[in-house]
Structure 1
Amino acid sequence: MWFRNLLVYRLTQDISFDAERLEAALAGKPARPCASQELTTYGFVAPFGKGEDAPLVHASQDFLLIAARKEERLLPSSVVKDALKEKVEEIETAQMRKVYKKEREQLKDEIIQAFLPRAFIRRSQTFAAIAPKLGLILVNSASTRRAEDLLSTLREALGSLPVRPLSVKVAPSATLTDWVKAQQAAPDFTVLDECELRDTHEDGGVVRCKRQDLTSDEIQLHLSTGKQVTQLALAWQDKLSFVLDDKLVIKRLRFEDLLTEQAEQDGGDDALAQQDASFTLMMLTFSEFLPALFEALGGEEIPQGI
């Protein structure tokens, strides 16, 4: 249970996240299979374990873990398009008349309904951790759409969820650019060997560097011409490495062996205990890492009126 990506959301009001009440709320929005004529369903599942008895909320110390599952029927647009074209040609040939837009749309709907029961099913799962004392919700995804799907469904289950994406006072790209220019990041942070440079002008170019010495003259030349660092690989202490972009999306999180080995030791031989140990250790690490990161980026921005 190690998050691989991270989107951070700030709770804008104090909310009591009682595990039992949250469990009851999520039970009102359970994940379920798609019916024969449904394109998609979305609901909550147990983050650990399987079966009806597995809880929808995993609580450990001051942290809560939840998971949502999306199930969707895959119906390629090209298949529908080809079937519609064939049907239209059949009607126009047999009835010697033109099939216009309104009838085409009706035919398309009929084709979709006929194909749906035979469509392939795809399932995807999204995890989120709630840290009430930190006032944060952390979603294990780099996709804001996936995160918003989970948060909006959680809002429906709870009745309200005052939350917004966390932001910082200084544009992240400005800070990341300064770090690469100075060849040094904030204390406890280390610049690694990967970045993305983007020209700020409209239709400007993009340079992506991997396994590159970012202190080189070549990189510094790009910066001197006005390019901004919009993505940068970093390490924090000796605990984790990640890629941060200018939207504050944390990608490709990697926890160092020191942490994963400690979780294995704490969890013992039981699989669920292993998951609990890794989740707890991950969240304790985030409790130190995230405040340090936001402070290094200029401090969290608190909108007026909040």
Structure 2
Amino acid sequence: MWFNNLLAYTFTQEVAFDAETLEAALETKKARACANQEMSTYGFVAPFGKGEDAPLVHVSGEFILISARKEERILPSSVVRDALAEKVEEIELEQSRKVYKKELDQIKDEIIQAFLPRAFIRRKAIFAAIAPKRGLILVNSSSPARAEDLLSTLREVLGTLPVRPVNVKASPTASMTDWVRTKKAPDNFFVLDQCELRDTNEDGGVVRCQRQDLTSDETQVHLDSGKIVTRLAVAWQDKLSFILDDKLVINRLKFEDLLQDEAQQNGGEEALGQLDASFTLMMLTLMEMLPQLWEALGGIETPQGI
């Protein structure tokens, strides 16, 4: 149970999270299979364990873990397009007339409905960790759209969910560029060997550096020419590493073996114990690292009135 991507959201007002109340709320929107004529469904699933009796809310200390799943039928557009073209050709030949847009759309809908029961099923799960005392929700995703699907569904079952993405006072791009230019990261952070440099001109180029010494003269030449750092690989202490981008999205989050070994020792022999220990240690580590990262980026920006 280690997140590999991270989007952070902060509460704009205090919200009391009671595990039993939350469990009951999620039960009203449990994940289910797509019916024959449904394109997709979305609902909550147990973060740990399987079966109808597995709880939808996992509580570990001050932290809460939930999970949602999207199930969708995969119907390739090329299949629909070919079937539509074949049907239109058949009508035009048999009836000696042209098929116009309104009828075309109707035929397309009929084809989709006919193909749906035979379409492949794809399932995607997404996890979110809630830290009520810290006023944070962390979503294991690099896609704001996927994170918002989970948050909006959670808002639907709770009736309210006053959260907003974490924003910082300083520009992440300016901060990351400064770390590379000065060859010095904030305390406890270390610049690694990967970054993305972009020209500030509208049609400017992009330079992607991998497995390179970012303190080299070559990198400095790019910065001197006006390029800025929009993605940067960073390590924190000796516990984790990640890639930070200009939107504060954390990608490729990797917890080092030191932490994973500690969780394995703490978790005991059972699988649930291992998962719980991993989740707890992950959250304690992130609750220490994230405030330091945001402080290094100027501190969290608080909108007026909050």
Question: Could you state the TM-score of these two structures normalised by the residue count of structure 2?
Answer: 0.99
Q: Structure 1, residues 95-134: CA drift from partner, whole Å, max 9, x if none?
A: 0000000000000000000000000000000000000011
1:1-306 matched pairs, under 5 angstroms? 1-306=1-306
After superposition, the C-alpha distances for 1:180-200 in whole angstroms (9 at most, x for unaligned) are 000010000000000000011
Give the drift of 1:53. 1.2
User: Which whole-Å CA distance do the structure 2 matches of 1:238 and 1:88 have between them?
Assistant: 63
Q: Which runs of 5+ in 1 are unaligned?
A: none
Shift, 1:52, TM fit: 1.1
Matched residue of 1:167: which SS? coil
Structure 1 residue 28: Cα displacement: 0.4
| Aligned residue identity for 1:279 | F
Cα shift at 1:257: 1.1
Q: C-alpha distance in 2, partners of 1:167/1:228?
A: 20
1:224-263 C-alpha deviation (Å, 9 max, x unpaired): 0110100000000111000000000001011111110000
Equivalents in 2 of 1:208, 1:304: separation in Å?
Answer: 38
- C-alpha distance in 1, partners of 2:197/2:49? 43
SS at match of 1:127: strand
Aligned-partner Cα distance in 2 for 1:49–1:212: 42
How many pairs were matched up?
Answer: 306
CA deviations over 1:33-84 (Å, ceiling 9, x no partner): 0000000000000000001111000000000000000000000111000000
CA deviations 1:188-223 (Å, max 9, x no partner) are 000000000001110110000000000111100000
Please tell me the residue identity of whatever aligns with 1:119.
A
- Name the aligned partner's letter for residue 118 of structure 1: R
Which secondary structure state, in structure 2, belongs to the residue aligned with residue 5 of structure 1? Answer: coil
Structure 1 length-normalised TM: 0.99
Query: Structure 1: how far apart are the matches of 2:100 and 2:267?
Result: 65
Q: Name the SS of the counterpart of 1:133 in structure 2.
A: helix
CA distance in 1, matches of 2:29, 2:201: 46
AA aligned to 1:229 is: V
Amino acid at match of 2:179: W
Give RMSD over aligned pairs.
Answer: 0.5
Whole-angstrom CA distance in 1 between matches of 2:61 and 2:121: 37
1:296 maps to amino acid: A
Secondary structure of 1:24's aligned partner = helix
Q: Which amino acid aligns with 2:159?
A: G
Structure 1 segments, 4+ long, off by >2 Å, are none
Look up the equivalent residue of 1:206 and give its one-letter code. V
2:134 is paired with a residue whose SS is coil
Instruction: Give, in angstroms, the shift of residue 268 of structure 1.
Output: 1.4
C-alpha displacement at 1:305, in angstroms? 1.5
Amino acid at match of 1:132: P
